Structure 1
Amino acid sequence: MNRVMQVCRLDFWINPVFDEMIQANPQLALQVLPRQGDDERTLAALRQAHAYHVSAAKDELPWHWFAGQALIEQCPALLCVSSGGAGFDTVDVAACSRAGIAVMNQAGANAHSVAEHTFGLLLAVVKRIVESHNTLRHATGFSREDLMGEEIHGRTLGLIGLGEIGRRVATIARGFGLEVLAYDPHLRDEQVQAQGAQPVTLAELLRRSDFVSLHCPLDASTRHLMGAEQFAAMKRGAVFLSTARGGIHDEAALYVALKNGHLSGAGLDVWACEPPPQDAPLMSLPNVVATFHTAGVTHGGRRNVARSSAAQIAALLRGERPSHLLNPEAWGLISERVGRVVGV
């Protein structure tokens, strides 16, 4: 490859290792473009780009910079779109496939951070840590028994999704002495068992689990996967957790299940609108522990995501198949387009 390939990203914060890796490669040229204030400049650069690294945070990215049909049509040189996380809500994968554009995510890069956060939420809810903190700071005349939590040892954790993050949660769960159930329609029973989990149907998982934790992607098949019917099917007094994506659980239905006492608590890192408004119904409940989609936003997690992103872009622009290709069905067309440009 003799020509220099153009890599573009918008001016969101990213761990410096991304820029360092791209700039250290003599075959790649990096442009950091304004996401607001100079759309003409940004679009002009994207029209010449071979790679576009896009934020995975849908509520932080202006819609016209989503990697969808409208933008793709204006970027004839584009060979790959790299999502800055495991999620890819800002990318129209089908449109990219039709255009012969590779789509990569960074699955697993921040999985340890998200798994750790899952247990942070679980313990915060079950041990009533936030309630205790607020009571100590603002109230008087209470006893320790007024803030009594629960013990999780020997109870049952149900995982919906057993991918990179779900597998790590299962490993941590065994250290806490939890029985682990898992529902993942994409895995065979023996694959689930190899991760130390018992394969079950979704109905059985909801019926048996003391704690239900979401670890599946958001797509047409999982939107509102957890709704009123599913929350009603959970054990009375169970706890619901999600570090997956907003939209997989129905927030209104969850509020009802918590408000009427059927569920004892929820730990939520993801929301339909991020951040959720302070007057959102779920935010009014003392048994909800809320975070701002920060499970994977750690220094280590962000560093790993940046490194993975830069490495996959470089590989694709060398003509190699990236390790986390989201549209493998389009690889024939993608590799043909890449080959014509880079000469491999």
Structure 2
Amino acid sequence: MTAPARHAFTVARLDLWIDPVFDAAIQDDAALRLSVLAAAAGDARTAEGLAQARAYHVSAARDEVPRGWQVTPDLLAACPRLLCVSSGGAGYDTIDVAACTQAGVAVVNQAGANAASVAEMTYALLLSLVKRLDESGAALRAGTARSREALMGREIEGRAIGLVGIGEIGRRVARIAQGFGLTVIACDPLLTAEEIRARGAEPVDFDTLLARADILSLHCPLDEATRGLMDAWAFARMKPGALFLSTARGGIHDEDALLAALDSGHLAGAGLDVWRVEPPSPASRLLQHPNVASAFHTGGVTHEGRRKVAAASARQISQMLAGIRPERLLNPYVWPRFLERLAQARAD
């Protein structure tokens, strides 16, 4: 390990699990010094450590990070030395990007690093639903399996899958869909129709997507534009017998409205990797519903995905603190001010 530079910048993270490649990469950069702080809420040593940090790597999962350590206006006010923040995933629920921009703090996420993992989870949930894997396994384990026809599933070939968002994850879902013989339609307000076609989908508007999709899958971030997007109206617009999937974020879909659509039989099933509260209560009616395939927000939590995210996070932090613009900068308008603050930090 290279010895730290005389004026090394401190990179802080909480003591939540992270692939060791992150710590190794930060420690191998002579311009950086790693500080691992307790995640326990209200720890005075953590507050002091964050106040001294120039970079902060924070988990993207809001229920893993105490509110006091999420990047809010209050935390930014208490950490005036902070130059940049790195989200430990494609999402950034724990970071107020607008507040960071106002404070001159650059923010990056790791979009694409775990895209393969999440795309694979989308199809794991879908196939679990249509092949009735939970029911079949439970019947075998209970010794109640008597007739294969009683557990008869369905094929997905020839159906239409509708993607809400076709970024790094969505484009992989679209590519995999071709192998299953699925037709792909997509809406994404951030892309032109030509870009959506280039990513393997027919561009449609949101209302058309709801009406045409046999399978609807969410691949968009949780923000003010998407919060509550899948509400009672949206579920009612979906085709009778359609399937709903989300590996995106809890809060984009209304759980009560989804439960009502399943209970009424309007929707045939749902595959959920994300929840309003994570983990959901074991008593949750949605979790216990026989037509729901469930997972504990583990779509991107694979050995490979976590390693890629950790490596990308460390690389982007190193780049920013070296004055190099990173690939996944979420607030590009902050960059000139960030460089001014970086220069001042070097001069201090």
TM-score, normalisation: structure 1? 0.97
Retained in 1: the 8 A contact 2:136–2:145? no
The CA deviation string for residues 16-57 of structure 1, in whole angstroms up to 9 with x for no partner, is 000000001111000111111771111111111000011111
Segment drifting more, 301-310 vs 43-52: 43-52
| Residue 56 of structure 2: aligned partner | 52
Aligned residue among 6, 10, 13 for 1:6: 10
Tell me whether 1:159 sits opposite 2:159 in the alignment: no
Find out whether 1:32 has 2:53 as its counterpart: no
3-state DSSP of counterpart to 2:290:
coil
Letter matched to residue 32 of structure 1: V
Contact 1:318/1:342, CA 8 A, preserved across alignment: no
The aligned amino acid for 1:72 is: L
Mean Cα deviation higher: 196-205 or 295-304: 196-205
Map Cα deviations across residues 103-127 of structure 1 (whole Å, 9 max, x no partner): 1110010000000000000000011
Deviations 1:48-77 (A, max 9, x none): 100001111111111100111111111111
Aligned to 1:214, which of 207, 212, 218?
Answer: 218
Structure 2 partner of 1:318: 322
- 1:341 maps onto 2:345 in alignment: yes
Structure 2 residue identity aligned to 1:338: L
Q: Structure 2 counterpart of 1:218, which letter?
A: L
- Inter-partner Cα distance in structure 1 for 2:21 and 2:116: 19
Report what 2:173 is aligned to: 169
Distance in 1, matches of 2:340 and 2:42, equals 34
Structure 2 CA distance, aligned partners of 1:278 and 1:9?
Answer: 31
Post-superposition CA distance 1:228-279 (Å, at most 9, x none): 1111111111100000000000000000000110110000000000000011
Corresponding residue of 1:244:
248
In the alignment, is the contact (CA less than 8 A) between 1:317 and 1:342 conserved in 2? no
Rounded Cα–Cα distance in structure 1 between residues aligned with 2:32 and 2:60: 23
Distance (whole Å) between structure 1 residues aligned to residue 111 and residue 98 of structure 2: 19
Structure 1 partner of 2:111 = 107
- 1:84 aligns with 88
SS in 1 for 2:78: coil
What is aligned with 1:235? 239
- Match 2:287 to one of 257, 263, 283: 283
Query: What is the DSSP-based 3-state SS (H/G/I as helix, E as strand, rest coil) of the residue aligned with 1:43?
Result: helix
Question: Within 1, Cα distance between the matches of 2:343 and 2:176?
Answer: 44
1:268 equivalent in structure 2: 272
2:214 and 2:140 mapped to 1: Cα distance? 28
Does structure 2 retain, via aligned residues, the 8 Å contact 1:55–1:61?
A: yes
For residues 213 and 141 of structure 1, do their structure 2 counterparts lie closer, same or farther at Cα, with a shift above 3 Å needed? closer
| 1:280-313 CA-partner distances (Å, limit 9, x unpaired) | 1101211101100000000000000000000000
Tell whether the 8 Å contact from 1:319 to 1:342 is kept in structure 2 after alignment: no
Separation (CA, whole Å) in 2 of partners of 1:141 and 1:126: 18
1:2, CA displacement in angstroms? 6.2
CA distance in 2, matches of 1:130, 1:153: 21
Distance 2:116 2:145 in 1: 40
Residue of structure 2 in register with 1:147 after alignment? 151
The residue identity in structure 1 corresponding to 2:168 is E
Partner-residue secondary structure (3-state), 1:303: helix
Shift of 1:102: 0.5
Query: In 1, Cα distance between the equivalents of 2:314 and 2:326?
Result: 11
- Quote the offset at 1:191 in angstroms: 0.4
Corresponding residue to 2:331 among 320, 327, 330: 327
Percent identical among aligned pairs is: 58
Q: In angstroms, what is the RMSD of aligned CA positions?
A: 1.2
**TM-score relative to the length of structure 2:** 0.96
Structure 2 unaligned regions, length at least 5: none
